[in-house]
């Protein structure tokens, strides 16, 4: 899984907030999750409802009482109901909460309502937790996990240190601590945590979430290049995200098979070798489906660099042995074998 520094996490959370998709931030205790939320709320000028779930019971949020022969609820002010004020509902220590409280929080994520009351239309939900390996935590259900983006904090890398140092300078942390953290990062950072659980899973719902965040990333006025991978991975999981992001690079930097078939001699060439290799696989699959595309694809691939061209020609020859008798293939083969 890809981890994010605190500054990257802040931008990823803001992107999720703009998409109105719940987001969860996971790390060991004391990594700065609450500070990130306070920083985001301050920057946006929004109110922050900071609710620690680990010490709560359902009765802390609502008390049932009979009224006119019906059961109704007396609500506390812990949650932002019936308000137009923009704000972040930060449900901290989610995985340390009892299952009854987790189920209540899940209703807020699913329906944005609980006990018959709805969250304000401008409220965005963010969760945080310490993960299943920490003592006292409860496993997150798949129903909950597939309704949010999952971000995992990096707390030990050089990037994590620099991200923390920038925050520390803004918070007027002493120069002594700043210099010590840089001088003895091994002590400041502690041991790298390798036991975080990947909750994200590829489902129809999470694919839509990933696509919405990808489309939104094209419109925001802050850098997303370094967070797009972790945030897509936080929706659909690392393996599926790698395939999707590879496909995005291909679709953005290479012509379509239709363009190549239409004019293989003039269709634009990929901008990098990795995109060329990805395009090779796409063209091989297309040719396997429709053999009539093979000729234009060979003409197009013949314009590539020698290494990429050889990769494609060999792949095609395995699927279509007859291609070895074509003039373009024999010319390539003759040049390859020439002393």
221 and 287 together in one domain: no
Residue 181, domain member (yes or no): no
Same domain, 213 and 278: no
Q: Which of 20, 10, 23, 14 lies closest to 154 in space, CA to CA? A: 10
Domain shared by 222 and 267, yes or no: no
pLDDT at 209 over 60: yes
Please tell me what DSSP assigns to residue 46.
-
Q: Which residue has better confidence, 66 or 100?
A: 100
Considering the domain architecture, whether residues 306 and 198 belong to the same structural domain is answered as no
Mean pLDDT along residues 28-33? 82
Looking at the structure, do residues 116 and 200 belong to the same domain, yes or no?
Answer: yes
d(CA 127, CA 135): 18
Same domain membership, residue 96 and residue 26:
yes
pLDDT of residue 264: 94
Q: 21 lies in a domain? A: yes
- Look up the domain containing 21 and give its range: 6-155+193-230
Please choose, from the candidates 162, 103, 93, 157, the residue with its C-alpha nearest in 3D space to the C-alpha of residue 129.
93
Which tokens go with 31?
């990594």
Which residue in 67, 69, 79 sits closest to 115, CA to CA?
79
State pLDDT tens for residues 252-292.
888 989 999 999 999 999 888 888 988 998 899 888 888 88
DSSP 231-281: HHHHHH-HHHHHHHHHHHHHHHHS--HHHHHH-TTTSPPPSSHHHHHHHHH
Q: Do 209 and 259 have their domain in common?
A: no
- 279 shares a domain with 207: no
Residue 69 has pLDDT above 80, yes or no: no
Within a domain: 187: no
**262 and 137 share a domain?**
no
Query: What is the model's pLDDT at position 193?
Result: 66
Query: Do residues 216 and 269 both lie within one domain?
Result: no
Verify that 204 and 295 share a domain, yes or no.
no
Q: Are residues 144 and 288 in the same domain?
A: no
Model pLDDT, residue 136: 58
Q: How far apart are the first and last CA of the chain?
A: 47
* Tens digits of residue pLDDT in 139-180: 777 878 899 999 999 888 888 888 888 888 877 889 899 899
Mean per-residue pLDDT of the chain: 88
In a domain, 329, yes or no: yes
pLDDT tens digits, residue range 104-141? 888 888 889 888 889 999 999 999 988 755 555 667 77
Total number of residues shown for the chain:
339
What pLDDT score does 47 carry? Answer: 95
Tally of domains within the chain? 2
pTM for the predicted model, two decimal places: 0.79
Residue (of 299, 311, 315) closest to 336 by Cα position: 311
Question: What's the token pair of residue 75?
Answer: 């609500």
Q: For residue 214, what are the contacts with CB-CB under 8 A and spacing of at least 6?
A: 228, 232, 248
Structure tokens that stand for 21 in this block: 């998709």
Nearest to 24 by CA among 40, 12, 39: 12
């Amino acid at each position: 899984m890809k981890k994010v520094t605190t500054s990257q996490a802040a931008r990823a959370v803001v992107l999720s907030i703009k998409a109105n998709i719940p987001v969860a931030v996971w790390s060991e205790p004391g990594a700065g999750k609450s500070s990130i939320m306070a920083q985001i709320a301050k920057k946006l000028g929004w109110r922050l409802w900071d609710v620690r779930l680990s010490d709560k019971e359902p009765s802390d949020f609502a008390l049932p009482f009979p009224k006119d022969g019906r059961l109704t609820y007396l609500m506390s002010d812990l949650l932002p109901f019936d308000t137009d004020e923009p704000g972040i509902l930060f449900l901290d220590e989610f995985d340390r909460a009892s299952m009854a409280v987790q189920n209540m929080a899940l209703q807020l994520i699913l329906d944005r309502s609980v006990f018959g009351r709805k969250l304000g239309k401008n409220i965005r939900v963010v969760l945080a937790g310490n993960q299943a390996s920490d003592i006292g935590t409860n496993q997150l259900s798949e129903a909950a996990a597939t309704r949010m983006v999952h971000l995992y904090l990096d707390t030990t890398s050089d990037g994590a240190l620099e991200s923390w140092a920038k925050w520390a300078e803004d918070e007027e942390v002493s120069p002594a601590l700043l210099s010590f953290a840089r001088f003895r990062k091994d002590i400041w950072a502690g041991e790298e945590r390798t036991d975080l659980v990947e909750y994200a899973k590829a489902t129809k719902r999470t694919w839509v979430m990933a696509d919405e965040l990808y489309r939104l990333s094209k419109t925001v006025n802050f850098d997303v290049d370094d967070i797009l991978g972790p945030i897509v991975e936080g929706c659909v999981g690392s393996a599926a995200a790698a395939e999707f992001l590879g496909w995005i690079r291909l679709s953005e930097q290479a012509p379509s098979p239709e363009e190549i078939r239409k004019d293989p001699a003039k269709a634009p060439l990929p901008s990098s070798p990795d995109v060329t290799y990805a395009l090779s696989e796409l063209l091989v699959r297309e040719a396997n489906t429709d053999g009539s595309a093979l000729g234009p694809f060979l003409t197009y691939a013949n314009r590539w660099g020698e290494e990429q061209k050889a990769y494609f020609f060999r792949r095609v020859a395995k699927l279509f042995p007859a291609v070895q008798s074509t003039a373009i293939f024999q010319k390539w083969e003759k040049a390859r074998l020439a002393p």
